[in-house]
């Protein structure tokens, strides 16, 4: 039982809470809650008017139930009523309920906004603060529209109380974050900046968050804040630990404000004014000095607050990256923290040092800590700290210490937590390639990687090792020998078998002289793994076998025997069976010369970019390929290949002989990516690109197993567009009656739509917003028109930037031409990489036939005359359906107008009905449509129905419109 019940306790609430706590099971709890909900519902519906206290109590109970995780679908109105109570306690609960359970119900928002408006103008600071809190908590666009103009005024007005100013500043910040377009600072800018000088530290603390956010977006307009921030900071830093009274926290003067000031300065380059800069450098030095002073308190709060400022100061020093002296001092300070007994400090020091490692001034200083960091990787008990250590090792790696760091990372991988293995593997692979002086070391490293963490070795990694081996003569023999040895292990990872199959198939001859690795030994070794492998690997092995026949004629009978056996030639997998059949035939009928040509060694891999694009252009024929059609082109190519040819059949042989690269070559598939002049592996390694590079052509060109085996073009890893999201139809329905809004949103991405239509043409703007702080790379979008839609709609995408920075938004324009009437929506596929992982999603583009409506005004007489003309059964479509939303005349009107038709007043004899008329404009024809919507508004809520009738000169149109519209009401 609670020790205190401050203010006025609500007894019923406390009883209810203890009842819930006493429930022995989830079922009992649900039962109790349902009982309570029924009780509250009856109270709210009852005839007796509830007094404020009861209303407050019930609303509070509902809130409690909601916070337990149950749905609440009533009580909003009662909460709104509480807002206008003149009892503070009731008002407060009302606001709390609204803040937690916002409902976008427009009716309610109007009422809420009204109550807020009253409180804002009440001049009662407590009420004003409540209202501001509510705005900040809800932060919806409607609220921004209503109050974004008023709040700056409150913020800077001379007679506003300090506490209200604080709330106003943060409220404005929230609105600015949700609807920056509605918050116009203009005339207020300078007065807001000068809040930095306010006497009240609380006001400064609140205002600086607002100023920082505004400065990030409009640095130029707010740049006067730099000198003000420096002088404020300097005053705090030099103050004694008790000067600031209540703003001193465990002997540290104003730690929050200090951090925020340092953060604000990170929005700007170093101050140009010498005096300001001098003062700032002095501050930073003082902060660094203070870190060396003995602590004024043993409490962790003291050291946390002090170090929070220190880390923020170091962040600023790194941001400026121009003061070698400060950078080195920062590095030394962090070095001390690396061995601190506080885990938190070790974590932060590792993290902060990562950024220092990339500065030319401090890179060497960071490197001196390598032993400590390696030790941290080995001994830290917390995986998140070890992760930071691994990051730092990666960041401090260069040619001089690569071997050591890679070796340490490899040995760590043996015991590393599953959660970070994949990332570690990529890091090792990148470092090994980036700093490889001799390639045998590189090959060793990657094979070790597969051996230790095979499951986490992504395709890109093993593609890459094959590319490098193919491209470098000097390492091929070594690679063959090493992989042969690695395969001897009784249990080896399938990725090892893939690499082994590929490399021995190409370069097995280089080690065949040694009787211990004679051709037959090699073959038997590979084949001993065959039955343990998945289909794609088996397919790869079959290709390796046919290569063996060419390399070592003496293995031919053995291999033919294998190919001929039932488990191959009658394999239930079509791909495997076909390979077996075709390879067997190829090996028996082709002459040695033909075999040697077909199965010759892989040519070196090309530089990536243009070759893929050029090939695509060629394949797609006359239609030019624009950058963003690339993905689609690849996909189509993939399908074509998949359907059109099989490995080893005549077309493959033909292709292999042809000098032009062809996507249909199987074993030689890799060649199709190879330009005539083979380039050595580029210095900027492809693996690095897996992480960092934008551009559709970045992925390891050609070395994927599709290129080697199943003859898809050697482009991106097979990334067919995902099937449309299950909710895509629902999302589409949202846009039938409106043209703008948010089409889709998940944790990573938000897609907004704006569109406009004229005649049979439309233009759509898609806004892709990156909600994360990490960039999206290889961001590509494609639109496809499945089936007959292709001939009905012409959709063109303008290119979109392949790189979307964290927090940024990019725009894409889509031009749409309606050729003739259509039913389906085009599919929009979006792909990008987010932190290495491929994101692939497909939505429906919100284009429906009604977008091409031209409204037609007509008289009642004309309407009914035309209505009668369209009286054939197939010209009419009708649906009777339950109302999903309240029957609000204004809302209905707005929806029907949004549909694009003209809403005809005084046409239908029954004033409750709605009739509309419009002409759909397509390139091929115009289709007239008439609509009638009949609500039975008098019915009880829950039983309200509509009858919707559409007539149109084209039968499919009436039907389609009826389907679309039935979802809207």
Partner 1 sequence: MRFMLLFSRQGKLRLQKWYTATAERDKKKMVRELMQVVLARKPKMCSFLEWRDLKIVYKRYASLYFCCAVEEQDNELITLEVIHRFVELLDKYFGSVCELDIIFNFEKAYFILDEFLMGGEIQDTSKKGVLKAIEQADLLQEVDVSSPKSFFLFK
Task: Find the binding residues for partner 1 in span 59-98 (CB under 8 A).
Answer: 60, 63-64, 67, 69, 87-90, 92-93, 96
Q: Nearest Cα to 20, choosing from 67, 59, 57, 75?
A: 67
Distance CA 899, CA 903 (A): 10
- Is residue 726 part of the contact set for partner 1 (CB under 8 A)? no
Distance CA 320, CA 314 (A): 10
Select from 51, 145, 382, 455 the one that contacts partner 1 (CB under 8 A). Answer: 382
DSSP symbol at 908: S
Distance CA 125, CA 561 (A): 92
Taking CB under 8 A as the binding criterion, the range among 129-137, 491-499, 722-730, 868-876 that sits at the site for partner 1 is 129-137
**Which residues have C-beta within 8 Å of that of residue 411, sequence separation ≥ 6?**
none
Quick one: 211 or 374, whose CB is closer to partner 1? 211
The H or E element containing residue 751 is: strand 749-758
Do 134 and 116 contact (CB within 8 A), yes or no?
yes
Residues in region 615-634 near partner 1 by CB under 8 A: none
- Is residue 26 part of the contact set for partner 1 (CB under 8 A)? no
Select from 32, 43, 53, 270 the one that contacts partner 1 (CB under 8 A). Answer: 53
Residues in region 309-338 near partner 1 by CB under 8 A: 311-312
771 annotated among ligand-binding-site residues:
no
58 annotated among ligand-binding-site residues:
yes
Do 449 and 428 contact (CB within 8 A), yes or no?
yes
Least distance CB 158 / partner 1 (angstroms):
20
851 annotated among ligand-binding-site residues:
no
Least distance CB 197 / partner 1 (angstroms):
18
Distance CA 211, CA 231 (A): 16
Quick one: 318 or 546, whose CB is closer to partner 1? 318
**Which residues have C-beta within 8 Å of that of residue 723, sequence separation ≥ 6?**
842
Q: Is 522 helix (H, G, I), strand (E, B) or coil?
A: helix
- Is residue 4 part of the contact set for partner 1 (CB under 8 A)? yes
Residues in region 756-775 near partner 1 by CB under 8 A: 772-774
Least distance CB 324 / partner 1 (angstroms):
24
Least distance CB 617 / partner 1 (angstroms):
37
Q: Could you give the count of Cα atoms lying within 13 Å of 650 in the half-sphere of its Cβ? A: 0
Residues in region 254-293 near partner 1 by CB under 8 A: 254-257, 259, 263
Distance CA 948, CA 933 (A): 5
Select from 54, 384, 820, 823 the one that contacts partner 1 (CB under 8 A). Answer: 384
Structure tokens at 342: 């506080």
The H or E element containing residue 764 is: strand 761-770
Quick one: 62 or 584, whose CB is closer to partner 1? 62
165 annotated among ligand-binding-site residues:
no
Taking CB under 8 A as the binding criterion, the range among 169-177, 505-513, 701-709, 915-923 that sits at the site for partner 1 is 169-177
Distance CA 586, CA 579 (A): 10
Distance CA 224, CA 235 (A): 18
Distance CA 303, CA 720 (A): 53
Site string for partner 1, 390-409 (x = CB under 8 A): --------------------
Structure tokens at 584: 């067997």
Distance CA 724, CA 100 (A): 33
**Which residues have C-beta within 8 Å of that of residue 816, sequence separation ≥ 6?**
761, 762, 763, 764, 793, 794, 795, 796, 847
Site string for partner 1, 913-932 (x = CB under 8 A): --------------------
Least distance CB 202 / partner 1 (angstroms):
4
- Is residue 21 part of the contact set for partner 1 (CB under 8 A)? yes
- Is residue 778 part of the contact set for partner 1 (CB under 8 A)? no
- Is residue 343 part of the contact set for partner 1 (CB under 8 A)? yes
Quick one: 45 or 341, whose CB is closer to partner 1? 341
Least distance CB 44 / partner 1 (angstroms):
19
Select from 222, 247, 708, 776 the one that contacts partner 1 (CB under 8 A). Answer: 247
Structure tokens at 323: 């003061």
- Is residue 782 part of the contact set for partner 1 (CB under 8 A)? no
Site string for partner 1, 134-163 (x = CB under 8 A): --xx-xx----------------------x
- Is residue 9 part of the contact set for partner 1 (CB under 8 A)? yes
Select from 58, 249, 412, 583 the one that contacts partner 1 (CB under 8 A). Answer: 249
- Is residue 178 part of the contact set for partner 1 (CB under 8 A)? yes
DSSP symbol at 630: H
213 annotated among ligand-binding-site residues:
no
Quick one: 206 or 551, whose CB is closer to partner 1? 206
- Is residue 679 part of the contact set for partner 1 (CB under 8 A)? no
- Is residue 958 part of the contact set for partner 1 (CB under 8 A)? no
Least distance CB 134 / partner 1 (angstroms):
10
- Is residue 498 part of the contact set for partner 1 (CB under 8 A)? no
- Is residue 14 part of the contact set for partner 1 (CB under 8 A)? yes
Handedness of CA 414, 417, 421, 424 (dihedral sign): negative
Quick one: 231 or 355, whose CB is closer to partner 1? 355
Least distance CB 328 / partner 1 (angstroms):
23
341 annotated among ligand-binding-site residues:
no
- Is residue 237 part of the contact set for partner 1 (CB under 8 A)? no
Q: Is 208 helix (H, G, I), strand (E, B) or coil?
A: helix
Residues of 107-132 as b/e, b for ≥16 C-beta within 10 angstroms?
Answer: ebbebbbebbeebbeeeeeebbbbbb
11 annotated among ligand-binding-site residues:
yes
How does DSSP assign 805-871, residue by residue?
A: -TT-EEEEEEEEEE-S---S--EEEEEEEETTEEEEEEEE-S--GGGGEEE----HHHHHHHHHHT-
Do 262 and 309 contact (CB within 8 A), yes or no?
yes
- Is residue 182 part of the contact set for partner 1 (CB under 8 A)? no
Select from 148, 171, 655, 709 the one that contacts partner 1 (CB under 8 A). Answer: 171
Cα 774 to Cα 350, 520, 833, distances in angstroms: 20, 51, 10
Least distance CB 724 / partner 1 (angstroms):
20
Direct distance between the N- and C-terminal alpha carbons of the chain, in angstroms, rounded to an integer: 49
Residues in region 186-215 near partner 1 by CB under 8 A: 201-202, 205-206, 209
**Which residues have C-beta within 8 Å of that of residue 312, sequence separation ≥ 6?**
258, 259, 262, 263
Quick one: 423 or 632, whose CB is closer to partner 1? 423
Least distance CB 344 / partner 1 (angstroms):
5
Quick one: 129 or 930, whose CB is closer to partner 1? 129
Least distance CB 772 / partner 1 (angstroms):
4
Select from 22, 224, 301, 869 the one that contacts partner 1 (CB under 8 A). Answer: 301
- Is residue 308 part of the contact set for partner 1 (CB under 8 A)? yes
Do 969 and 879 contact (CB within 8 A), yes or no?
no
381 annotated among ligand-binding-site residues:
no
- Is residue 298 part of the contact set for partner 1 (CB under 8 A)? no
Cα 626 to Cα 613, 681, 800, 804, 840, distances in angstroms: 9, 27, 11, 19, 20
Quick one: 128 or 887, whose CB is closer to partner 1? 128
Distance CA 576, CA 345 (A): 57
Quick one: 734 or 866, whose CB is closer to partner 1? 734
Where on the phi/psi map is residue 529: left (φ > 0), alpha (ψ -120 to 50), or beta?
Answer: alpha
Residues in region 352-381 near partner 1 by CB under 8 A: 381
Quick one: 138 or 428, whose CB is closer to partner 1? 138
57 annotated among ligand-binding-site residues:
yes
Which residues fall in the annotated binding site?
11-12, 43, 53, 57-61
């Amino acid at each position: 039982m609670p020790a205190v019940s401050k203010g006025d306790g609500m007894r019923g609430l406390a009883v209810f809470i203890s009842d819930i706590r006493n429930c022995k099971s989830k079922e009992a709890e649900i039962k109790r809650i349902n009982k309570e909900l029924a009780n509250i519902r009856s109270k709210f519906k009852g005839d007796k008017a509830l007094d404020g206290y009861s209303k407050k109590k019930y609303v509070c109970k509902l809130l409690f139930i909601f916070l337990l995780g149950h749905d609440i679908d009533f009580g909003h109105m009662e909460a709104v009523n509480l807002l206008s109570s003149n009892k503070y306690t009731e008002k407060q609960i009302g606001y709390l309920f609204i803040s937690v359970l916002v409902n976008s119900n427009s009716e309610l928002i109007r009422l809420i906004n009204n109550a807020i408006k009253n409180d804002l103008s009440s001049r009662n600071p407590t009420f004003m603060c409540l209202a501001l809190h509510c705005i900040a908590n809800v932060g919806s666009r409607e609220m921004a529209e209503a109050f974004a103009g008023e709040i700056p005024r409150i913020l800077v007005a001379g007679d506003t109380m300090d506490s209200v100013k604080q709330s106003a500043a943060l409220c404005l910040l929230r609105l600015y974050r949700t609807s920056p377009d509605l918050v116009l600072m203009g005339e207020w800018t300078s007065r807001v900046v000068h809040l930095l000088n306010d006497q009240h530290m609380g006001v400064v603390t609140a205002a600086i968050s607002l100023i920082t956010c505004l400065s990030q977006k409009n640095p130029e307009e707010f740049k006067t804040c730099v000198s003000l921030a420096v002088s404020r900071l300097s005053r705090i830093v030099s103050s004694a630990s008790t000067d600031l009274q209540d703003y001193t926290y465990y002997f540290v003067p104003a730690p929050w404000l200090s951090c925020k000031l340092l953060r604000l300065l990170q929005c700007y380059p170093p101050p140009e004014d010498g005096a300001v800069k001098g003062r700032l450098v002095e501050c930073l030095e003082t902060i660094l000095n203070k870190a060396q002073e003995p602590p004024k308190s043993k409490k962790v709060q003291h050291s946390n607050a002090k170090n929070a400022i220190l880390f923020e100061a170091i962040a600023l020093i790194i941001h400026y990256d121009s003061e070698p002296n400060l950078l080195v001092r920062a590095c030394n300070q962090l070095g001390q923290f690396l061995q601190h007994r506080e885990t938190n400090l070790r974590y932060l020091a590792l993290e902060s040092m990562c950024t220092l490692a990339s500065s030319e001034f401090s890179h060497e200083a960071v490197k001196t800590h390598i032993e400590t960091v390696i030790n941290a990787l080995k001994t830290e008990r917390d995986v998140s700290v070890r992760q930071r250590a691994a990051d730092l090792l990666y960041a401090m790696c260069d040619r001089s210490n690569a071997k050591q760091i890679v070796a340490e990372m490899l040995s760590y991988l043996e015991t590393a937590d599953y959660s970070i293995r994949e990332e570690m593997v990529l890091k090792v692979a990148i470092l090994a390639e980036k700093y490889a002086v001799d390639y045998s070391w590189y090959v060793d490293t990657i094979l070790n990687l597969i051996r230790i963490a095979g499951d986490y070795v992504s395709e890109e990694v093993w593609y890459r090792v094959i590319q490098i081996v193919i491209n470098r003569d000097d390492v091929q023999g070594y690679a063959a020998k090493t992989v042969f040895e690695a395969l001897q292990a009784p249990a080896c990872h399938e990725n090892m078998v893939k690499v082994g199959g590929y490399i021995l198939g190409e370069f097995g001859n280089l080690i065949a002289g040694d009787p211990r690795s004679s051709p037959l030994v090699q073959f038997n070794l590979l084949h001993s793994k065959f039955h343990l492998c998945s289909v794609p690997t088996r397919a790869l092995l079959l290709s390796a076998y046919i290569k063996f026949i060419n390399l070592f004629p003496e293995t031919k009978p053995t291999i033919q025997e294998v190919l001929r056996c039932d488990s191959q030639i009658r394999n239930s997998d079509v791909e495997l069976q076909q390979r077996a059949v075709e390879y067997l035939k190829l090996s028996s009928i082709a002459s040695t010369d033909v075999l040697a040509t077909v199965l010759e060694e892989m040519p070196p891999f090309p530089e990536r970019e243009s070759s893929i694009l050029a090939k695509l252009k060629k394949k797609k024929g006359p239609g030019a390929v624009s950058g963003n059609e690339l993905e689609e082109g690849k996909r189509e190519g993939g399908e074509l290949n998949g359907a059109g040819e099989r490995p080893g059949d005549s077309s493959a042989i033909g292709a292999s002989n042809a000098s032009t690269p062809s996507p249909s070559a199987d074993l030689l598939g890799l060649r199709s990516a190879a330009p005539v002049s083979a380039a050595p592996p580029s210095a900027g390694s492809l693996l690095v690109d897996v992480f960092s590079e934008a551009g559709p052509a970045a992925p390891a060109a050609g070395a994927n197993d599709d290129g080697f085996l199943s003859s898809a073009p050697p482009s991106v890893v097979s990334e067919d567009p995902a099937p449309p999201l299950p909710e895509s139809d629902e999302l589409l329905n949202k846009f039938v009656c409106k043209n703008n809004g948010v089409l889709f949103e998940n944790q990573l991405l938000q897609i907004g739509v704006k569109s406009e239509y004229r005649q049979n043409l439309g233009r759509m703007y898609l806004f892709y917003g990156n909600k994360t702080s990490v960039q999206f790379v290889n961001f590509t979008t494609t639109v496809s028109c499945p089936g007959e839609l292709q001939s009905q709609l012409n959709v063109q995408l303008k290119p979109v930037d392949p790189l979307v920075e964290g927090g940024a938004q990019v725009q894409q324009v889509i031009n749409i031409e309606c050729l003739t009437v259509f039913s389906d929506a085009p599919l929009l596929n979006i792909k990008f990489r987010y932190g290495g992982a491929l994101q692939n999603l497909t939505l429906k583009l919100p284009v429906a036939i009604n977008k091409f409506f031209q409204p037609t005004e007509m008289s009642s007489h004309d309407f009914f005359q035309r209505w009668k003309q369209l009286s054939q059964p197939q010209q009419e479509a009708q649906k009777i359906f339950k109302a999903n939303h309240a029957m609000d005349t204004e809302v209905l009107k707005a929806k029907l107008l949004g549909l694009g038709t003209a809403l005809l007043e005084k046409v239908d004899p029954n004033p409750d009905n709605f009739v509309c008329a419009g002409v759909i404009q397509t390139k091929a024809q115009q289709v007239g449509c008439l609509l009638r919507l009949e609500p039975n508004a008098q019915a009880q809520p829950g039983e309200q129905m509509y009858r919707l009738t559409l007539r149109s000169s084209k039968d499919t149109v009436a039907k389609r419109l009826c389907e679309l519209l039935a979802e809207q009401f």
